[in-house]
């Protein structure tokens, strides 16, 4: 029998904090979205995302948590990186948010996930829409990511993870039951 998810019960101060953070995030997003430097963009990172909603101690009704509030901010953040250690909370968060290309949800220790997956993706000098090979490798291998490449004729090939005998991790395309080396020459993936 599976354990039922226990939502965090929050008091008035926490509800006030959520309201303040919602307003702050909207102002922050408005200011950063107005920047004219093309390489500057803003992302939302929350290392203790929880289940996405809380139970109000005062009303016993659900209150949207910080991740749901951030997803509603206009203008939107470019990406959302949401982390929690509890598998049941992450499962609930995934159900609440649904499939979105701009939302990355991670289950595990935030100290490891931030260093391995999130920070390499949000570097200030990264061209928007790009990732390093290692970031793509980790996303596919450890976060159940699915990636494809398409050539100029429209042919599509799946990208998979490989590891060399010496331990080097890389991605390769897999088409017609054959691994090919056409991605190895690239320094980044789009």
Alpha helices in the chain (DSSP H): 12-33, 66-71, 87-97, 110-113, 119-121, 133-142
pTM of this structure: 0.68
| Strands across the sheet containing 103-107 | 43-46, 79-84, 103-107
Fold of 1-129: Rossmann fold (3.40.50)
**Domain extents for the chain?**
1-129, 131-190
Q: What is the pLDDT of residue 127?
A: 59
Residue 168, Cβ neighbours under 10 Å: how many?
A: 10
Which pLDDT score, from 0 to 100, does residue 14 have?
Answer: 96
Alpha-carbon span 14 to 36, nearest angstrom: 35
Is residue 157 within 8 A of residue 119, CB to CB? The reply is no
3-class SS of residue 115: helix
pLDDT (tens, 9 = 90+) of the chain, 190 residues, equals 456 899 999 999 999 999 999 999 999 999 988 887 766 678 899 999 999 999 999 999 999 999 999 999 999 998 899 999 999 999 999 999 998 878 888 899 999 888 887 887 776 665 555 666 667 777 777 777 777 777 667 777 778 887 766 666 777 777 666 777 656 444 444 4
- Nearest CA to 114 out of 43, 44, 41, 47 is that of 47
Give the β-pairing of 79-84 and 43-46: parallel
């Amino acid at each position: 029998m599976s354990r039922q998810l226990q939502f965090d019960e929050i008091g008035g101060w926490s509800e006030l904090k959520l309201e303040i953070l919602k307003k702050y995030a909207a102002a922050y997003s408005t200011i950063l979205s107005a920047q004219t430097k093309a390489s500057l963009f803003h992302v939302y990172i929350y290392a203790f995302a929880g289940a996405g909603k809380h139970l109000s101690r005062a009303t016993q009704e659900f209150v949207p948590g910080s991740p749901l509030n951030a997803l509603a901010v206009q203008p939107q953040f470019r990406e959302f990186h949401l982390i929690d250690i509890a598998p049941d909370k992450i499962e609930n968060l995934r159900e609440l948010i649904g499939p979105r290309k701009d939302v990355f949800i991670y289950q595990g220790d935030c100290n490891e996930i931030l260093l391995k997956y999130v920070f390499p993706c949000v570097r200030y000098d990264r061209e928007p829409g790009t990732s390093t090979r290692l970031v793509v490798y980790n996303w596919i291998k450890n976060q159940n990511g699915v990636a494809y490449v398409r050539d100029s004729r429209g042919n599509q090939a799946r990208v998979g993870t490989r590891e060399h005998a010496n331990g080097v991790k890389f991605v390769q395309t897999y088409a017609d039951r054959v691994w090919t080396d056409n991605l190895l020459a690239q320094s980044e993936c789009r």
